[in-house]
Structure 1
Amino acid sequence: MALNKYMHPRNIYRSHKPQFKQLAQKYPFFKDVIQEDEEGRISLDFKVPSHLAALSKALLLNDFGLDLEFPLDRLVPTVPLRLNYILWLEDIIQSFHPPGTPVTVLDVGVGASCIYPLLGAKKNGWRFVGTEIDARNYAVAVESVARNSLQHLVQILQIKEGDSSMDAVFNSDLPPAPVPSLTAVMANPPFYCDASDVIGSVTSRSITRPSAKTVSSAARHESQTFGGEVFFCMRLARDSVKYATRVGVFTVMLGKKSSVVPFKRILRKLKIPKVSVYELCQGRIMRWGVAWTFQPNVKFPESEFRRLRKFEKPPLTLVLPSHLSCLPSYTVEALLDWLRAEFKQLKMKCIDQKNRAEIGGVHLSICATENTWTHSRRKRREAERLARSQLSNTSVNSDTHLTEPGAESESKQNDGSQLSYVDPPSTNLKRPHMENPAELNGCISSKTSLADVDTSTETKRPRIQEICDEGEAWVDDFLPPMLYVGAYCSDVSVSPIIRADIFVEQRAHDELEPAVDQPELDDDDAMLRNLEPTGPLVIKIEFVEGSCREAANQILCYLKNRLR
C-alpha cells in the first residue's frame, strides 16, 4: 500500500517526486549511478547502497543546500522520512514555545549522517546537541557539520555505551554556553535486540511475493540494541522523569508497530501525564512517533494518517471471545492455522503475504470464484445425503446382481453351495450421526492445518546485510506495482467473486494497572515483564476487488458462526 498520501502536508516530496533526469544533469555523481533504458527512462537500483547514497546526497544538496557524504558501511538515510520527523517536531514546538525565542534540541544517537541536526539547523535555525557512541560515526558527523559551516548551531558529544545522553548534555560545558534546558528531545533508536530478531522479521515473506527491492547498509549498532527499541526508549523515559522540568517535550520514532503499546504502558507506569502517537508515512514505510511531556501547555498534532482515515471505509472487524474451543491455543498463529484450513474447505485460494516489516507477521490473501460460504450447513447436509444415497444405490445394484436366479442356479451347479439373500442397506436419508462432533463444528486442530502447509520451498534466511529498510520509502514512487504470481486466482478465465486480505491481530491492553509500586519502577526486568498482548483476537477483512463486495460481510458472518 502506498503511503505517500499520508505524508506530512508540508513535506515537499508528498506531491513532487524527485526528477531523476534533472538531478543527473545537475550532479555528475548522481549521473554515474543512474540506469537509462532504450526509451530514455531513468531508474535506480535500490539494492545498491551507493545508489541510495547518491540519491540522498543529491536531494539534500538540491533542496536544502546541505553537502553530506554517506559511508556505505553505515546507515544511508532517506530524506522524506527524516523530513517528516522534523516537520512533526515543528508542529509540537510551535504549540508551546514562544515565537522568535531560541530552540534547543537533543538528538540521541546522531549516526554518521547527522541528518536530523543538519536538517533542523539549516531549515529552522535550531540549535542541536547530539550524542553518539560509535567512534567512526562521531568522526564522520563532526566532519559533516564542519563541511556545512554549522558548528555554531550543532555540537556533537561522544559518550560511552550505556551512558545517559541527557546526563551528558546537562553536565557538560558546551560552547558557546552550557545547556540549562532543552526545548525537545528526539531519538530514532535501533529496531532490533539481536541478529535473530532481525532475521525473524523477514523469514515469513511469501514465496509468491517478489524479492525485496532494497537493502540496508546499517552497521550492527545502528539496527540492533540491547533489549530492542522498547528497552532503549524505557531508559529514555526514566531520564525524562528525572529532567521533567528542564525539557519541554520528549519524542521517539519507533520502527515496529508492536513496540507502541508496550512503550505506552511503560509511560503510564511512570505516571507521565500526556502521551501522543503520530504516524509517519512515506513510500511503503510507516514509522510511529511517540511524544510525551510533563508541561500542561503542550499540544500534540494529529497525523495525516489518522485524519484522512476517518473518511475512508474501515475494514470489517470481528472481535473474538476470550475462549474458543476450536482453537488449540488463543494465539494469532493458531487462529491463522484455523483460517487457512477453513478457507481450504471452502475451496478458496489462500496464500500467506508478509506484512510490512514494521508491523511484522503475515496476513492471508484469499480469492473465491464461487460462493461456498452461504447456506454452507444445508449444502453440507445435501452432500452427505447424496453420498449416502449413492452408496445405497451401489450396494443395491451389487446385491441384485449377486442374487439373480441365473447366477444363483449357476452357482449351485458349479459348487453345490447355496447363497443366502442379504437385505440391502437401508436407504434412510436422515442426517447421519457423526461420532466426532468436532468435525461437524469445523474445529480443526493445529496439527491438521499445519500438515497442509507446504514448507518445501520455504525461503532461506537472508544475510542481515540484505534486510530491506531505507530504500522502501522510494519504492512506490519509482517502481511499477508488484505482481503476485502463483496459484492465487490463477484461473483468469473465471471472474472472482471476491479478492480480500484477512488480517489477524491480538489487541493489547495499555491501561495502567491499579497498583504500581516504586520497586517495580526501578527494576528494568519488572518494567518489561508482561508487556506481550493479552487482549482479544481480532479478524479484519479488507475487500480488494471482485463482483460482490457484500461477500466480505458474508464471509465474516460465516467465520463468526464457525468460531465457537
Structure 2
Amino acid sequence: MSQQKNTAPDKENLHPRNRHKGRYDFPQLIKTYPELAAFVAVNQYGDESIDFANPEAVKALNKALLKHFYGIQHWDIPAGYLTPPIPGRADYLHYLADVLASVNEGVVPTGRSIRVLDVGVGANCIYPIIGHREYGWKFVGSDVDPVAVRMARQIVASNPSLAGAVEIRQQATKDDIFDGVLKPNEVYDLTMCNPPFHGSQAEADMASRRKEHNLGTTRTPQPEANFGGRGTELWYPGGEATFLWRMAEESVLIKSKCFWFTTLVSKKETLPGLYKSLKKLGAVEVRTISMTQGHKISRVVAWTFLDAEQQQAWREKRWGAKPAATEEKP
C-alpha cells in the first residue's frame, strides 16, 4: 500500500489581499463549522490538516472557509461536481480587481454598479460568492449544465447576503459562450472564466489517474479528480485552446459591451494561439498575469477592444471617474 500524501496547497505565493495566505487556522475554522472536526488530524509533520484526497474532507473545509471568511451559511454541491480550492479561486478575483484599478488611478472600483459575468459558474458558485464579499460586485453566472444552474441558484437563494447580487442563467447552447446569456443593452466591466482544459472524457480520466497516483490512493474503482468535476467542468471538444479560440471570436462581437474580457489559462501551450487570435481580432491591449499556488502555475489573460478614449468614457459613465485633464494651449 502506497503512503498517502498531504497535498495541501502551498499558499505563500497568493495575492497580498488573499485572506487565505499562511496556514489554515483549523481550531478557528472548527469553531465556525464544527462538522469539520471529523476530518482534521495531526499529520506526520505534527501539523493539523485534512486528507486532501478525500472529497468529503475538502467539501467540509470549503464549507468552513466560506462560512468563516465570506458569511455563507448554506453551501453544498452534488456528488461528483467540482469542489474548488478556494484560495486559488480568490486569487483570480483579486488580480481582476488589480486590472480594474490599473485603469482607474490605482483605485479598485467597488459596489453593485460593477458588473461581472462568470462564464461556467458551476454548481459551486464560488467566484460570485467571493467577488461580491470582497468587492461588492454584482454577478451574472452562466452554465450549460442544468444541474449546476439549479444548485448555484439554490446557493444564492439560501444566503440572504447574495440577494440581488448574483443571478444564475442557463446557457441553452453548448457551443455558445456569450451569445444567449447577455441581454439587450447589458454591459459588463469584466468577464471571467475557468475553462475546461481537457479535450475529451478519456483525457480527463487519464489526468485523474495521474492525480490518484500522485496522491497515493486508488480507493475508488473509477478515476476521480482531486477536487471532483464532471463533464463540462473538465473537458470540451478540442480542449482549452479550442474553447478560448471560440471565446475570443465571440468577444469581438460584443466588444463595446465589456471593458475587460478575462480567462484563466492552464496550459502555456495555449497562449500563442490565443495571442494570435486576439491580435487578428483587433484587441487594443492584451495582458498576461502569472499566478502560482504550490507546484501549479496558471495565468490570467485579459484583453480589451476599447481604445484610450473609449476607456475614459467608460470610467466616467460607470465608475464615476473624473474627466481626463486636458492641457491648455499656450
TM-score for both structures, normalised by structure 2: 0.79
The one of 172, 185, 206 aligned to 1:160: 172
Asked if 1:247 corresponds to 2:258, the answer is yes
Distance 1:20 1:204, change over 3 A: closer
- Equivalent position of 1:91 in the other structure: 98
Structure 1: how far apart are the matches of 2:196 and 2:98?
25
Asked if 1:34 corresponds to 2:46, the answer is no
- Equivalent position of 1:76 in the other structure: 83
Equivalent residues of 2:170, 2:181 under 8 A apart: no
- Equivalent position of 2:182 in the other structure: 170
Distance 1:249 1:39, change over 3 A: closer
Q: Deviations over 1:306-337 (max 9, x none)?
A: xxxxxxxxxxxxxxxxxxxxxxxxxxxxxxxx
Equivalent residues of 1:21, 1:42 under 8 A apart: no
- After TM superposition, give the deviation of residue 204 of structure 1 in Å: 7.7
- 5 Å matches for 1:391-470? none
Equivalent residues of 2:58, 2:227 under 8 A apart: no
The one of 51, 54, 64 aligned to 2:70: 64
- 5 Å matches for 1:303-382? none
Q: Deviations over 1:506-530 (max 9, x none)?
A: xxxxxxxxxxxxxxxxxxxxxxxxx
Structure 2: how far apart are the matches of 1:269 and 1:49?
43
Asked if 1:182 corresponds to 2:193, the answer is no
Asked if 1:46 corresponds to 2:57, the answer is no
- Equivalent position of 2:323 in the other structure: none
Structure 1: how far apart are the matches of 2:240 and 2:18?
26
- After TM superposition, give the deviation of residue 262 of structure 1 in Å: 2.1
- Equivalent position of 2:222 in the other structure: none
- Equivalent position of 1:7 in the other structure: 14
TM-score for both structures, normalised by structure 1: 0.47
The one of 253, 267, 288 aligned to 1:277: 288
- Matched residue type, 2:156: V
- Matched residue type, 2:55: P
- Matched residue type, 1:27: Y
The one of 111, 115, 134 aligned to 1:123: 134
For the residue of structure 1 that corresponds to 2:60, the secondary structure is: helix
For the residue of structure 1 that corresponds to 2:303, the secondary structure is: strand
Q: Deviations over 1:52-93 (max 9, x none)?
A: 111111111111112321323100011111100110111112
Structure 2: how far apart are the matches of 1:145 and 1:189?
22
For the residue of structure 1 that corresponds to 2:262, the secondary structure is: strand
Q: Let me know the Cα RMSD of the aligned residues.
A: 2.9
The one of 133, 142, 153 aligned to 1:142: 153
Deviates more, 1:28-37 or 1:83-92: 28-37
Structure 1: how far apart are the matches of 2:295 and 2:20?
14
Structure 2: how far apart are the matches of 1:69 and 1:12?
21
- After TM superposition, give the deviation of residue 100 of structure 1 in Å: 6.1
Q: Which blocks of at least 5 consecutive residues in structure 1 are unaligned? A: 173-178, 300-564
Distance 1:200 1:266, change over 3 A: farther
Structure 2: how far apart are the matches of 1:284 and 1:28?
31
- After TM superposition, give the deviation of residue 278 of structure 1 in Å: 0.9
- Matched residue type, 2:95: W
Distance 1:154 1:39, change over 3 A: closer
Structure 2: how far apart are the matches of 1:144 and 1:42?
29
For the residue of structure 1 that corresponds to 2:259, the secondary structure is: strand
Equivalent residues of 1:33, 1:44 under 8 A apart: yes
Larger Rg: 1
Q: Deviations over 1:202-245 (max 9, x none)?
A: 7789x9x7747972311122101121111111111111111111
Asked if 1:264 corresponds to 2:270, the answer is no
- After TM superposition, give the deviation of residue 25 of structure 1 in Å: 3.6
For the residue of structure 2 that corresponds to 1:258, the secondary structure is: helix
- After TM superposition, give the deviation of residue 3 of structure 1 in Å: 6.0
Q: Deviations over 1:477-497 (max 9, x none)?
A: xxxxxxxxxxxxxxxxxxxxx
The one of 200, 203, 212 aligned to 1:197: 203
* Overall identity of the aligned pairs, in %: 31
- Matched residue type, 1:80: P
Distance 1:36 1:122, change over 3 A: same
- After TM superposition, give the deviation of residue 28 of structure 1 in Å: 1.8
Equivalent residues of 1:145, 1:154 under 8 A apart: yes
Equivalent residues of 1:53, 1:72 under 8 A apart: no
Structure 2: how far apart are the matches of 1:199 and 1:160?
26
Asked if 1:234 corresponds to 2:245, the answer is yes
- Equivalent position of 1:55 in the other structure: 61
Q: Which blocks of at least 5 consecutive residues in structure 2 are unaligned? A: 1-8, 219-224, 313-330
Structure 2: how far apart are the matches of 1:38 and 1:201?
27
Question: How many residues of Structure 1 are paired with residues of Structure 2 in the alignment?
Answer: 290
Equivalent residues of 1:192, 1:229 under 8 A apart: yes
Structure 1: how far apart are the matches of 2:155 and 2:209?
37
Equivalent residues of 1:255, 1:287 under 8 A apart: yes
- Matched residue type, 1:198: A
